[in-house]
Structure 1
Amino acid sequence: MKFTIITNYTSSHSIALHSKVLDKLSVSEFQLINVKFGVIEKNAVTLLKHQEEESVIHISADLFTGFLLPEFLEYEVTIEEEALLIGPIIGLFILGKFDEMTRQRMRIYKKYLIDYEHLNGLILLVTSDGINQENKIVNGFAYNPIEEEWMKGTFPFPSVIYCRKTVNKVERLILENLIGNKYFNSHVFNKWEMWQWLSTNAELRKYLPETGLAVNLQEVKKLLDESGCIFLKPISGMKGSGIYQLTKSSQEYTLQYRLSGLNMLTVLDNWEAVKYYLETELNLKKYIFQKGIQLLKYDDRVIDFRAIVIKDRNGSWAVPGMVAKYGEKKSIVSNISSGGSAEKSWETLSEMYGGDFKEAYKKYKEMEQISILCCRLLEKRGIHLAYIGIDIGMDEDKNLWIIEINNRSPDMTIALDANDSQLYYQTKAAPLHYSKWVAGFRGELK
C-alpha cells in the first residue's frame, strides 16, 4: 500500500495513521514507538489515529527538523525491530561533486527508475561531498516521478547505498559508520584475486584455466611448452584491453594482440626473443598468464557468454539472462568494445547444439549454476555485491571455462547489443529492487 505524507503543524512528536493501518501494523493509538526515515531515528514518537483516507500519513513538522521528506512522493510503511520505517530511502553513490551535477549529467541515472511504481519512496543521488555524517543528512538530488527529474535538497541519509563509483577508504568508513554493511558493489577485485578465491572451491576449480603471475617467466615458459598456447592478461584490465595470446610452434613463437583497434601479430624466433619482448613491452608485475583455451568459433570469430547475475527483490541470487559475445574476425577477444557483436545466448546455444534444445538447455543451466556458485563464494568472503557480469567460454569439446568476473561496473547495454531490451530493463531495475529489500520493505502492506 502506498502512502502520501501531510505535514501536521498543530501537534508535536507524533505520527497519525488510519485505524486500519494501525491494525495491520499491529500497533495501537497513543503507543510510543521509534520512527526511522533512512538512518535518522526519532525516539518515543506518539502514534495517533485519524479518520481521513487510509493512504494518508500525518507527520508533525518538528520531526523534519533539518531535512525534507518530499510530500509529492508516495511511501510505504513497515515495522522492523519494533521501529516504524517510512520509506524506502535509497541512495545511488555517484561520481562527482554536488555543485557539478547538471540535469544532463544526472540523466543517465533515470533508467534505474524504470520500475519506480514498484519501488516508491525517496531515491537519491548522493555525492561524497554532500554527506553530513554528524547529522546523518545529505545534500543530494531526489527523484521526482511526476516530472521525471531530479530535485535538489537536503534529505535523510539513505538506509541503503548502491555504489556507482569507486569507493575510497575514507568514504568506506563513512558508509560503514552510517549504514553498516548496507552498501554494495563497492568492492573491486582483480583477475588474480578472483582466481585465488575461486580456485579454493573444488566444484569451481575444474572451470578455471591454469593461472599464475607473469613475473615468473620460468613458469610462463613451462606452461607454454606444455600447452602450446597461453594468454597474458593485465591483472586489473577491463574490456579486453592489453591481452596477448602467445603461441608456440616447432619453428617460432607468435604473439597476437590488439593495438589502436587493429589485430596485430608479432613473430619471434626463440624464447630469448620472447623473454626480451615481454620484459621490455609489458610491465609483467601487472600481468597474469593463463593456459590458452581453444574456444568455439563461428566464421573465425571467438565466442563466449556473459551471464548477468543479480540479487533479486527477495535477496536471492538469480540469472535473468545471458548474452553470447562474438569477437571481431581473427581477434583474440570477444569484447563489444573491441569490434565484437552480441546476440541472445539461447540463439547461439541452439545453433551450437544443432537444434537439440534439451542439450542446449542443460548447458545453459550449467552456466547459470556456475555463475551463482561464484557469487555465493564471493559473498562468503564478505563482499557485498548485487550485480555482476560473468564471462564463460566453451571449448571445442563443449567444456565450460570461467574467463572473467566483471564486478567493477558491468555494462548493462550488452543486453541491448543482443536486441534483448527486456533483459536490459530488468537488469537496470534490479539493484534498486534489491535495495528496497535490504532497507526492510519486503512486501507491501495490503
Structure 2
Amino acid sequence: MNAATSSAPLTESAKTESVPEGKPVLAILTIDDDIQLFRGNRHNFADLIETGRELGYLAYVVTVRNLKLGRSRVLGYTYRREREVWVKGYFPKPHVVYNRIPQREDERLPRVRKKLMLISKYPGVKLFNRRFFNKWSLFQWLNKSKATQPYIPETKRLTEPQVLTSMLKRHSLLYLKPIRGKAGVGIMTVKTQPEKHLPYRLQIQNEKRSRTYRCSTLQKLWERIKAQTDALGEPYIAQQGIALASVNDRPFDLRALVQKNETGNWALTGIGARVAGNASITTHVPRGGEIDEPEKLLVSVFGRERAQQVLAQARNAALILARQIERSSKHRLGEMSMDLGVDTTGHVWFFEANSKPMKFDEPHIRRKSLERIFQYSQYLYGRLRQTKEGTVR
C-alpha cells in the first residue's frame, strides 16, 4: 500500500501555495476521520491534485469539519507524489467545492447536511454533486419525461407481496434492488420457471457470494425476500428484468461517464463495457466481471453496422438521461456514471446512475475524466465572476 491510499498520520505541513491567476481554487470535500484524518479514495484524490498541478490549478482535500467558509484560509491536505506522502497545510478558500463524501451514511449526518446546505447558498462558492442518488427517485424523475421514458424498465416500490405478484404476471425475470444500495450488495433476482416442480428461483447477492433458493409458492418466495430486505434494513424496488445481449453466454452492460465540460454542458467522457462473471447477478468487476471494449462486444452480437447504431443510441441516451436527472434533482451536477443495458434486440435500457462515480479503469477515459473536473470548475469560476450572487448554474 502506498501513501496515496495509506492511513498513516501526516508528518509535515504543506508550504503555502499561491492561487494561479484567472483560475479557480478547487476543494475536494470529504468527511473527517479520527484515525486517518479524512475518508475517501485517496488514490483518486491524489490523481485529481496531480492533474490540477499539471493543468495549472490549485486543488486540495478538505473535510466537512475544516471547511470554514468565513475564513480566508482553510486547513486541508495535499499529496506529494515525489515522496508519496500526504501533507496538511492552509490553503486559500475555494471557489469550487467538489463533493466526494464517500458514504451515504456520512452524507446523511445532520452536521454534514447542514454544511452542504451552507456551501450551496454561500456567495462566491459553487458546489456540485451535492448528494448521492436514490434509486426510486431516479426512476420517478426519468418517468416524468417522454424523452427518457423509453429507456426505463418498469419499476415499482416493493412494499407488499401484491407488487411482486402483479409484476411476475408481466415479467418472467425481476431484479429487486435496495434503494440506497452500493456495488451490487443485496440485489436479488426472481425468475419464474413454470415447468419446474419449484417454479420460483430466487438469487441473492451479498458482499462475498450469491445464494440461490427455489420456492414452491409465491408466499414462500415473499417470505424469503422479506427476510433479506429486513436483514439489510433498506427499502427495495422491483424492476423488470431485461434479457441482455451476451457473448459466450455471459451478459454484458455498458458503463457511461458523463461530465460537464468547459462550456457547462453535458458531454460523454467515455463508455466502457463490463461482462458478467460466472453465476454473478451483476457485472461488477469485484464480483468476477471483466472489462471489455463496447464496440467489439456489440459487433460480435449485432454485426458492425447495427453495432454502430446501438452505440450511437447509448451515447445519445446517456446525455438525455443526464439532463433529465439534473433538472429533476434541482441541484447542480457536474458528473455521473450510468449503467446501461442493451437487450437482445439492440434496445438501450437505463439501470442506474451514480453521482459519485468510481474510477474508470480505461486509461483514456480516466485521464479525460480528471481533466473535465477542472474544465467544469473553470466554467463555474467564470460564472462566479459574472455574478456576485452565484445563482447561475
TM-score (norm 1): 0.72
Q: Shift of residue 299 of structure 1?
A: 2.2
AA in 1 matched with 2:378: K
AA in 1 matched with 2:381: A
The aligned residue for residue 336 of structure 2 is 388
Aligned residues: 356
Are positions 1:363 and 2:310 aligned together? yes
AA in 2 matched with 1:210: E
- Tell me if the contact between 1:389 and 1:406 (Cα under 8 Å) persists in the aligned partners: yes
Which residue, out of 202, 213, 224, partners 2:168? Answer: 224
Are positions 1:256 and 2:203 aligned together? yes
Decide whether aligned partners of structure 1 residues 150 and 240 sit closer, same or farther in structure 2, where only a CA change above 3 A counts.
Answer: closer
- Tell me if the contact between 1:318 and 1:372 (Cα under 8 Å) persists in the aligned partners: yes
AA in 2 matched with 1:282: T
- Tell me if the contact between 1:301 and 1:330 (Cα under 8 Å) persists in the aligned partners: no
Rounded Cα–Cα distance in structure 1 between residues aligned with 2:75 and 2:310? 49
Q: Where does 1:46-445 land on structure 2 (aligned, <5 Å)?
A: 70=16, 73=18, 75-77=20-22, 87-97=23-33, 100-101=36-37, 108-116=44-52, 119-141=55-77, 152-165=88-101, 167=107, 168-179=112-123, 182-250=126-194, 251=196, 252-259=199-206, 261-283=208-230, 286-354=235-303, 356=304, 358-381=305-328, 382-407=330-355, 409-412=356-359, 415-416=360-361, 420-440=362-382
Rounded Cα–Cα distance in structure 2 between residues aligned with 1:106 and 1:280? 36
Rounded Cα–Cα distance in structure 1 between residues aligned with 2:52 and 2:70? 30
Other structure's SS at 2:382 match = coil
> Rg: which structure is higher?
1
Query: Larger deviation: 256-265 or 152-161?
Result: 256-265
Other structure's SS at 1:202 match = coil
Rounded Cα–Cα distance in structure 1 between residues aligned with 2:227 and 2:30? 38
The superposition leaves residues 105-149 of structure 1 with CA deviations (integer Å, 9 ceiling, x where unpaired) of 955422114433563243222112222333343112356799886
AA in 1 matched with 2:221: V
Decide whether aligned partners of structure 1 residues 105 and 397 sit closer, same or farther in structure 2, where only a CA change above 3 A counts.
Answer: closer
Other structure's SS at 2:20 match = strand
The aligned residue for residue 58 of structure 1 is none
Decide whether aligned partners of structure 1 residues 294 and 118 sit closer, same or farther in structure 2, where only a CA change above 3 A counts.
Answer: same
Q: Shift of residue 317 of structure 1?
A: 1.0
Decide whether aligned partners of structure 1 residues 137 and 297 sit closer, same or farther in structure 2, where only a CA change above 3 A counts.
Answer: same
Rounded Cα–Cα distance in structure 2 between residues aligned with 1:426 and 1:105? 18
- Tell me if the contact between 1:122 and 1:143 (Cα under 8 Å) persists in the aligned partners: no
Other structure's SS at 1:131 match = coil
The superposition leaves residues 318-343 of structure 1 with CA deviations (integer Å, 9 ceiling, x where unpaired) of 11211111111232211112211111
Other structure's SS at 1:282 match = helix
Decide whether aligned partners of structure 1 residues 286 and 138 sit closer, same or farther in structure 2, where only a CA change above 3 A counts.
Answer: same
Decide whether aligned partners of structure 1 residues 228 and 100 sit closer, same or farther in structure 2, where only a CA change above 3 A counts.
Answer: closer
- Tell me if the contact between 1:303 and 1:325 (Cα under 8 Å) persists in the aligned partners: yes
AA in 2 matched with 1:340: G
- Tell me if the contact between 1:88 and 1:441 (Cα under 8 Å) persists in the aligned partners: no
Decide whether aligned partners of structure 1 residues 259 and 139 sit closer, same or farther in structure 2, where only a CA change above 3 A counts.
Answer: closer
Decide whether aligned partners of structure 1 residues 363 and 181 sit closer, same or farther in structure 2, where only a CA change above 3 A counts.
Answer: farther
The aligned residue for residue 62 of structure 1 is none
Other structure's SS at 1:129 match = coil
- Tell me if the contact between 1:300 and 1:329 (Cα under 8 Å) persists in the aligned partners: no
TM-score (norm 2): 0.82
Once the two structures are aligned, what percentage of the paired residues are identical? 24
Q: Shift of residue 241 of structure 1?
A: 1.5
Q: Shift of residue 156 of structure 1?
A: 2.7
Quick check: which one's strand share is greater? 1
Rounded Cα–Cα distance in structure 2 between residues aligned with 1:263 and 1:176? 41
User: Gaps spanning 5+ residues in structure 2: where?
Assistant: 1-13, 385-393
Q: Shift of residue 373 of structure 1?
A: 1.0
Q: Shift of residue 177 of structure 1?
A: 4.2
The superposition leaves residues 372-407 of structure 1 with CA deviations (integer Å, 9 ceiling, x where unpaired) of 111111222322221211111111111111011122
Rounded Cα–Cα distance in structure 1 between residues aligned with 2:84 and 2:371? 16
- Tell me if the contact between 2:310 and 2:347 (Cα under 8 Å) persists in the aligned partners: no
Other structure's SS at 1:206 match = helix
Query: Larger deviation: 111-120 or 213-222?
Result: 111-120
Query: Larger deviation: 116-125 or 315-324?
Result: 116-125
AA in 2 matched with 1:249: Q
Query: Larger deviation: 235-244 or 431-440?
Result: 431-440
The superposition leaves residues 293-316 of structure 1 with CA deviations (integer Å, 9 ceiling, x where unpaired) of 111222232211001111122322
Other structure's SS at 1:183 match = strand
Rounded Cα–Cα distance in structure 2 between residues aligned with 1:125 and 1:206? 40
AA in 2 matched with 1:439: Y
User: Gaps spanning 5+ residues in structure 1: where?
Assistant: 1-67, 78-86
Decide whether aligned partners of structure 1 residues 204 and 264 sit closer, same or farther in structure 2, where only a CA change above 3 A counts.
Answer: same
